[in-house]
Amino acid sequence: METAFEVLAEPKRREILNLLRDGERLAGDLVGRLALTQPTVSKHLKVLREAGLVEVRVDAQRRWYRLRPEPLLEIDNWLAPYRHLWSDRLDALEHHLDAMPDDEPETPEGSP
């Protein structure tokens, strides 16, 4: 079985997960939003399903897909040691912005 890293190396699979972030979607809805053929979307969904990143709920003839965030912990855990790099840069930006002089709002002539 492929790891979450390997599965998410494909941009269209990441796009599918982005679409599923807000909740369940029908397979046909994913086809329309991705501008891909139904067989291509089905192949991507199969890979995502086998990796445990999505699950499917069958409702009569329709297939509803939803995100399973738990497997993303593998990626989150891998990124953990690198977070300080972003945090340090954001802290530096905050200090820089705090040190900048505030612009005084201009008042129209004749105003006190």
Give domain status of residue 83, yes or no. no
Give domain status of residue 108, yes or no. no
SS (HEC) of the chain: CCCHHHHHCCHHHHHHHHHHCCCCEEHHHHHHHHCCCHHHHHHHHHHHHHCCCEEEEEECCEEEEEECCHHHHHHHHHHHHHHHHHHHHHHHHHHHHHHCCCCCCCCCCCCC
Give domain status of residue 61, yes or no. yes
Q: Which domain holds residue 44?
A: 4-71
Tens digit of each residue's pLDDT (9 = 90 or more) over 9-57: 999 999 999 999 999 999 999 999 998 999 999 999 999 999 999 999 9
Give domain status of residue 99, yes or no. no
Tens digit of each residue's pLDDT (9 = 90 or more) over 65-95: 999 989 888 888 888 888 877 777 777 788 8
β-partners of residue 63 are 58
Considering its fold, how many domains does the chain have in total?
1
Give domain status of residue 54, yes or no. yes
**CATH number, residue 42:** 1.10.10.10
Q: What is the pTM of this model?
A: 0.71
Give domain status of residue 34, yes or no. yes
**Residue type at position 48:** L
